[in-house]
Structure 1
Amino acid sequence: MLIKRIGFSMIVLSIMLTAGCGLRLQGSYLIPSKLQTMALTSQDKYSKLTRLVNERMRLNNIKIVELDKSTPRLNLISDSLERSTLSFYPTGNVAEYELMYHVNFTIQMPNEEAKPFQVEIRRDYLDDPRTALAKSREMNLLVNEMRIQAADKIVQAIAAFKQ
C-alpha cells in the first residue's frame, strides 16, 4: 500500500515538474491571445494546404472566422513544388531528386501592413525507373508529408508572431 502511494506521488510530482518548466507536446503551441481568433484566406480554399492549415489552427485552438476589419488575417498566397536532379546512375538515368516545397503567406493585424513569411521544406527522393509505380506513390507520400510540415511551420509562425 505504501509502495503504491509512493509510486503515485512520484508520477504526480513528475507531471507537475514537466508542466511547470514549460514543456509542451510537439505540435502544440502557445498562441498569443490577439491571434486566437483569425480569418484564413487563400487563393484556393479547397487546396490540400489550406485544409491542413485550417486543421492545424483548430488543433491549436485558433478560432477561424470570416474576414472583417477587426480580425487578424492569415493569407496563404502561394505554394509550389520544385524538383531538381541531385545524381545520376552510370546509365545516365536520374538516381536522386531533391524536392522543394515553398509556401508564401502573410499575417496581418487589423489596420496594419501585412507581414510576409516564407516556408521552405526540402527532401531528397531516390528514383528507380524499374519501380515507377511504387516510386510515384512514394513521391506522393513525401509531398503530403511536406505539406503537413509546412502547415505546422505556419502555425509556428503564428505562435511566434510579434507586432
Structure 2
Amino acid sequence: MNFSRIVVAVCLCLFLIGCGFKLRGDHSLPAGYEYLHVQAVQSQAPLKRALLKRMEIHNIGVIEGTQYDKHPYTITLHLAPEKLERRLLSVFSTGQVAEYELILGVPYSVRFGNNDMIDAYFEIVRDYQDDPDQVLAKSRELELVLSEMRREAADRIIRRLSSQASVTK
C-alpha cells in the first residue's frame, strides 16, 4: 500500500516538473534573459519605484542608463503613465459620496532582446469607502490603497514577463 502511494507521488511530481509548473511566488526572469531595463515617461513615477523595489526583493538584475543596448539578453520594459479612475458606487442620504471604485490602469510595452515591442494593459480594481467626517484619515488610507495597488501591479508585470517570453521565442 505504501509503495503504491510513493509511486503515485513520484509520478505526480514528475508530471508537474515536466509541464513547467512553477510556484506563484517564484519571481524570476525567463530563461535566457539576464537583465531587465525599466524606462518610464517620468523618472520618479510611483509605479516605476514600486517595480524597482519589487525587483530588488526578488533579486532580479536591473540595468540602468544606456548600458542595456550592449546586452542582447536584456528585457526592456517601458512604463506608460498609469491611469487612475474613480467610479461612484454609492452616496449618503445627504448627497455626499460614500463609496468609490478605484481603477488603476497600467499600460506598458516590453521587448525581449532585439524582438519587436509587445504592448500590454491591465487594470487593478479596489473599493474605497469615503467618510467626510474623517478627511485626514481617509486621505492617508487612500495613499495606502494606491501603494498596495501599485505593488500588486509590479508583481503582475513581473509574473507576465515570464509568460510573454515563452510566446516570443
| TM-score for both structures, normalised by structure 2 | 0.76
Paired residue for 1:150, among 128, 146, 153? 153
Unaligned runs of 5+ in 1: 1-16
2:57 maps to 1:59: yes
**AA partner of residue 128 (structure 1):** D
Q: Corresponding residue for 1:10?
A: none
Q: Which residues of structure 2 form unaligned runs of 5+?
A: 1-12
Counterpart of 1:34? Answer: 32
What is the CA-CA distance between 1:146 and the residue it aligns to? 0.5
Equivalent pair of 1:99/1:122 in contact (CA under 8 Å): yes
Q: After TM superposition, list the pairs within 5 Å mapping 1:58-137 onto structure 2.
A: 58-65=56-63, 66-68=67-69, 70=72, 71-137=74-140
Partner of 1:6: none
Deviations 1:77-111 (A, max 9, x none): 22121112111111111111011111111111233
Please say which of residues 121-130 and 68-77 is displaced more in the overlay. Answer: 68-77
- Cα distance between partner residues in 1 of 2:60 and 2:34: 5
Secondary structure of 2:68 counterpart: coil
The answer to whether the 8 A contact 1:37-1:62 is kept is yes
Letter in 2 for 1:121: I
Instruction: Tell me which amino acid in the other structure corresponds to 2:69.
Output: D
- Secondary structure (helix, strand or coil) at the match of 2:144 reads helix
- The verdict on how the C-alpha distance between 1:68 and 1:118 changes in structure 2, with shifts beyond 3 A counting, is same
Identity rate, percent: 35
Equivalent position SS for 1:143: helix
- The total of aligned residue pairs comes to 144
- 1:159 maps to a residue whose letter is S
Show CA shifts across 1:54-76 (max 9, x none). Answer: 12223333211133162321111
Letter in 2 for 1:103: V
Is contact 2:81-2:107 (8 Å) kept? yes
Measured in 2, the distance between the counterparts of 1:114 and 1:23 equals 26
